[in-house]
Chain A
Amino acid sequence: MIISLNWLKKFTSIDMSVSDLATLIGARLVEIEEVVNLGEKYDKIIVVKVVEASKLEGSDHLSVTKINDGGVTDGVERDENGLVQVVCGAPNIKAGQMVVWLPPNSIIPETSGSSEPFKLGSRKLCGEMSNGMIASARELDLFDEHAGILVVDNDIALGKSFATAYELDDYLLDIENKSLTHRPDCFGVIGFAREVAAIQGKAFETPDWLLDIAPNFDTLDGEKVELSVNIDDANLSSRYQAIVMSGADAGKQSPLMIQMYLSRVGIRPINAVVDVTNYLMMLTGQPLHAFDYDKLVAVAGGQADIHVRAGKDGEKLTLLDGRTIEITSEDIVIAAGETAIGLAGAMGGANTEIDENTKNIIIESATFNLYNLRSTQMRHGIFSEAITRFTKGQPAELTAPVLAMAVNLMSEWSGAKCVSDVTQAYPVKTTQPVIETTSAFVNEILGSEFSSDEIIKTIKNVEFTAEATSDNKIKIAAPYWRSDVHIIEDVIEEVGRLNGFDNISPLLPKRDFAAVRPVEFDILRSNLRKIMASAGANEVLNYSFVHGDMLKKANQSADNSYRIVNSISPDLQYYRQSLTPSLLGLVHPNIKQGFDSFALFELNKSHEKYDGLNYEGVPVEIDSMALIVADKNSQQGAAYYQAKYLIEFLLHRLGVKLTFKPIESDNDDALFAPFEYRRSAMVADGDKIIGVIGEYKKSVSKAFKLPEFAAGYEIDTMALLEAYNNTTNSYKPLSRYPATDRDVCFQVEQSVNYNQVIDAAEVALAEIELDSEITPVDIYQTENGETKNVTIRVKLISHDHTLVGEEISAAINHVTSAVVAATYAKVI
């Protein structure tokens, strides 16, 4: 929204610089995005009189003019009478006109601020010298001209600055609308001025006509036109007023000064009738609409019978902008008889549009249910100045004073006269609540030290009624235009805001010394990140949503994903079912960027539709950690073991023991779906499966263009936390006696797993009264490929004596026979 400083000044004095004012408004009312110096554009530009104008010979459209600038411009060629010659191309140029002259060295306002501002000079056109130019409204960056050059009012002194004459020596404040969503009053200049007065500590006085919520309309002489108005559903509109005026001259323009003000705040002047409605909307925040009376009567079948009603599904309406829309039952419709003639609050219908033949008009001043209008706005994509105001919730009381002023201006500017009574439907009257409080309560919430008198003065400045009662309370009622004030907190905001929140002393809340315990899960995740980074892996964050193609590539079923229905991009179509697919998607791009060998990991959340809802009725959310390790160059050994080495490092650091269990058959659970079961394991905490580790299916690998060496894991971090919390201290005191190592090599069938050997050895060692450790030494596949040799190192430790040969042999024999028994191994 654009606010003109000069327009504000008509209602309140401002005694500080523009930049100080902008800072103050920013601190106490609303963010200002930009302040534009409008006057700069009109530097050197003056009002002059056309003394002579004659057709230029040899041109079909140019005229040679002599202008009188009152002699104020220096350094310009003049004739013997002191007049300046300007060649003009406008068809409407005539001697005697007052026009706007851009002298040599001035810049055409339309081009100022552009990348190529156009500076005028003196040059010959068709052989005639032209000094500067006579400007059109468009060239003056005001509005699209109607006829050619802009002809201004007669009573302006020759040579007067154009900006001064039309108050264009102005500053425009570009306001961030969003923070005024709850303030319908601030969407009018008067309401904004009220705030500007109060934040300067000044009392504001609203013009009498706007305070008069039951204005008198002149009694009519002669014959009255009948007009009926009905609100068919009181939920749709709290007030609808209308009046018929006759004799509007649609060809008539509003005063030029008004056009100048409208255009600077972004409203195109059209004609007197339309300008009245727009001017009053900008002034008060109350939108008005004008219908062609005769068209309305024709549509309604002979009488002016207006209804406010819900739209009917399937109903169609052609709007003023030419679009034909399909109305729904959530739209509010203005109907003449049965037929829709407008989308309430949003846009009028073409069937009752004012045109050059319009003589009689109906002016509507009404308020509508803002929630319906908001949905209308979204559904039909209408973002007009009017609906922007209506959706802030304009109060019902505002319609009457604005309509009364509209009648006055309409008669003044367009010559129209009232021919009907004001007709209204006003089903539900609202009253402002009386709010009682004390200065102590206000101060308790703000942390301030205002006296009752200061509080009363502050809110009286914005025209609340406020009085101290005998029992030390303050009785407050908001003026009718503050439909946003309901509860004491709303008043407290006004007190704090208008005096400046920054003037309240900041202090800290009191607390006791009890320390806050950081969240265990957060500490674990922080450790996981540090550990994986120390293992050379890089943490990434991927979007929570993926493209359907990614699910397909990862062998996951789209049916298992929550689907986003209003996404701007197909890349954000489905919730992730697991973290792995997004990591797979990062491998190829990074290899292309020249990274040959890396590991990426992510800690994040995933959601599977099949998991259903939790106790709160929202989808189950799984916290996981996933990693992928990849190398562009082929490596010795399967990638699986690299991923396993990384997770074992992690588990070792955490002191958590998990097991890796072979997967018997293909598993299409989302977590397992991308993994090749013959080269993957289930990660288990005891009997509980908490993750997967392995290489990817060939088809997945191909779809993501993975290198041959690629593997990864994904584990449930909440389950990992549980395992971590169940970890017992594994520390054993150091022994004073030397430990003994023995390497043992078992030849086993290919099908025997390494763990079968280790498990048997561990069980056997547990039966011996010595401490022991087992570490792998070698896994060798024999030439025939049917067997493998697994060599392990057994460390034996005694805490009370030095071990002797027989003891050691007995222990090792116990271990080897146990392994042999369990795996049919041959000791070699």
Chain B
Amino acid sequence: MDNVKEIQDKLIAQVALSDTPREILKSSELKQLYGAITSLPVEERGNYGKSINQLKQALELAITSKESDLENAAVETIDVTAPWDKNTGRLNLLPAEQGTRHPLTTEIENIIDIFTRMGFDAFESRQIDNDENMFGALNFPENHPARDGYDTFRTEEGFIPPAHTSTMQNRILKAGKAKLEAGGQIAAVSYGRVFRNEDLDATHEHTFYQYEGVFVSKDATLGQMIGALRSFFEIYYGQKLKTKTQPAYFPFVEPGLEFAIERPVALGGKPGDWLEMLGCGMIHPNVLKSAGIDPVIYRGFAWGGGVERLVMLKHGIEDIRHFESGKLQFLRKFL
């Protein structure tokens, strides 16, 4: 066994000095070590085999690392301050007509633009957050069954890739508290990337985008919520729309609703064909309380919806997986 260790050290030292380190795998020392196995008593062969394997792994690692060093060694330094390479000339941009923006970011800009014009401040959501912002501050106690619906990922440390943009709600409420108490309102939209631990298929992504709104004032009503949402979709689709709601359960609102619009003309308009757009409701008093806002004096409403759905309906995109595929044949179809 000591012999194996010795040979290992020796070969690794050779690798460090070699310009062709892979050749060392063919060395006679190694062959002898392999050969020796048959001459050992059967009960010793297992351990011996293991130590040979360890040697092989260590050697392989050293060789790969040396090879990469060798590769990276033969590199010519360039003058990084120059406008172009020597003996060449002025460069060009790529053809402008092939440049595109991503349809999701374009749509998020549209959505935020409408809400901004309606009087909402915009906040982008984080991509890694904690349990308190994901659940605790939103009236989801530990082990609450409603947590199941969110299929959250978790990191080793217990951080959570947010499963909804409502992770921003507590922050928005806290930030707006002073303005509210000075006689103003809290009107904010948050938007960003969210994550669910789901299998991928044409209509399910583990990574997608949401937009969401929060409004708090002394006299917010559910009627105002429906009015504000209807107004948003009417501006978004540029037409009058029929809307309807349906009771739903989300622990952070009470009452909770789902909001649907009748298919607008831009999407082939069919009366009686309802498109579910988002979840919404009056903010639960516990959510206001966890931001230090007195739910006896102030009330609010909140909503949240998915961006992909809007974009897929708009362009007739058949597979949600295209969005994060990075495929140029998809990306270049947009503006």
Contacts and interface: CB of A to CB of B under 8 A. Distances in A.
Interface of A: 26-31, 178-183, 370-372, 374-375, 378, 391-392, 444-448, 487, 489-490, 492-493, 496-497, 501-502, 504-509, 511, 516, 518-519, 521-522, 526, 529-530, 532-545, 562-568, 572, 575, 582, 585-586, 589-590, 593, 595, 597-600, 603-605, 607, 617-619, 621, 629, 636-638, 640-642, 644-646, 648-649, 660-663, 676, 678-681, 693-694, 697-699, 702, 753-756, 758, 776, 778-781, 788
Given A519-B123, A779-B88, 17 more contacts: A27-B244, A30-B246, A179-B249, A448-B222, A501-B247, A508-B224, A516-B117, A518-B116, A533-B100, A535-B93, A544-B127, A562-B157, A563-B155, A567-B153, A568-B206, A582-B326, A593-B328
Contacts of B185: 509, 511
Most buried by A among B102, B224, B247: B247
B115 to A, nearest CB: 9
Given A540-B326, A629-B94, A565 B156 contact: yes
A445 B155 CA distance: 40
Given A509-B224, A535-B93, A586-B326, A641 B85 contact: yes
B89 A562 contact: no
B81 interface: yes
Contacts of A562: 128, 155-157, 159
B91 A590 contact: no
The 10 closest A-B pairs by CB, nearest first: A447-B223, A536-B94, A447-B221, A637-B85, A755-B81, A493-B255, A506-B227, A681-B80, A533-B99, A371-B143
B153 A564 contact: yes
A27 B153 CA distance: 33
A509 B220 contact: yes
Interface in B141-190: 141-146, 148-149, 153-157, 159, 161, 185, 187
Contacts of A545: 153, 161, 207
B329 to A, nearest CB: 6
A678 B193 contact: no
A542 B102 CA distance: 11
B129 interface: yes
B72 A516 contact: no
Contacts of A778: 89
A516 B245 contact: no
B208 to A, nearest CB: 10
Interface stretch (B14-22, B26-34, B38-46, B194-202): B194-202
A780 B159 contact: no
B227 A507 contact: yes
Contacts of A660: 80-81
25 contacts: A370-B145, A375-B143, A378-B148, A445-B282, A489-B254, A489-B284, A497-B255, A501-B222, A501-B245, A506-B223, A508-B227, A516-B120, A518-B112, A519-B122, A535-B93, A538-B100, A539-B102, A593-B328, A641-B88, A644-B83, A679-B76, A680-B80, A681-B81, A699-B72, A781-B86
Contacts of B246: 26-27, 30-31
A676 B149 CA distance: 45
B58 interface: no
A543 B85 contact: no
B222 A575 contact: no
Contacts of A697: 68, 72
B291 interface: no
Contact of B127 (A621, A680, A681): A621
Name the prevailing secondary structure of the A interface residues.
mixed
Most buried by A among B223, B256, B329: B223
A291 to B, nearest CB: 27
B1 interface: no
Interface of B: 68, 71-72, 74-89, 91-102, 104-106, 109, 112-113, 116-117, 119-124, 126-130, 133, 141-146, 148-149, 153-157, 159, 161, 185, 187, 193, 195, 197-199, 206-207, 215, 217, 219-224, 226-228, 230-231, 243-249, 251, 254-258, 282, 284-285, 299, 323-324, 326-329, 331-332
Contacts of B215: 509
Contacts of B198: 568
Contacts of B331: 538-540
A445 B129 CA distance: 32
Contacts of B258: 31, 179
A30 B206 CA distance: 26
A754 B81 contact: yes
A487 B207 contact: no
B94 A599 contact: yes
B326 A505 contact: no
Given A371-B143, A532-B99, A564-B153, A595 B328 contact: yes
Nearest to A492: B255
Contacts of B255: 489, 492-493, 496-497, 501
A565 B159 CA distance: 10
Contact of B101 (A497, A533, A629): A533
A178 B88 contact: no
Most buried by B among A374, A756, A758: A374
Contact of A619 (B112, B159, B284): B159
Contacts of B199: 568
B244 A502 contact: yes
Nearest to A597: B94
A159 to B, nearest CB: 41
B100 A618 contact: no
A522 B112 contact: yes
A586 B109 CA distance: 25
A536 to B, nearest CB: 3
A599 B326 CA distance: 12
A363 B247 CA distance: 36
Most buried by B among A516, A532, A582, A780: A516
B193 A618 contact: no
A566 B207 contact: no
Contacts of A694: 80
A375 to B, nearest CB: 6
Given A662-B81, A698-B71, A371 B141 contact: yes
A698 B75 CA distance: 9
Nearest to A539: B102
B294 to A, nearest CB: 14
A2 B117 CA distance: 45
B99 A536 contact: yes
A570 to B, nearest CB: 13
Most buried by B among A27, A537, A538, A663: A538
A756 B79 CA distance: 11
A375 B141 CA distance: 13
Given A540-B331, A638-B85, A563 B93 contact: no
Nearest to B90: A776
B323 A541 contact: yes
B254 A598 contact: no
Contact of B130 (A618, A638, A780): A618
A371 B81 CA distance: 63
B122 A522 contact: yes
A367 to B, nearest CB: 15
Contacts of A505: 223
B128 A619 contact: yes
B226 A544 contact: no
A340 B144 CA distance: 26
A544 B122 CA distance: 22
Contacts of B129: 618
Most buried by B among A378, A501, A680: A501
B222 A487 contact: no
Given A501-B226, A534-B99, A637-B85, A566 B249 contact: no
Contacts of B193: 544, 604-605
Contacts of B141: 371
A572 B197 CA distance: 10
Given A27-B245, A504-B222, A541 B254 contact: no
A753 B247 contact: no
A780 B146 CA distance: 69
A600 B326 contact: yes
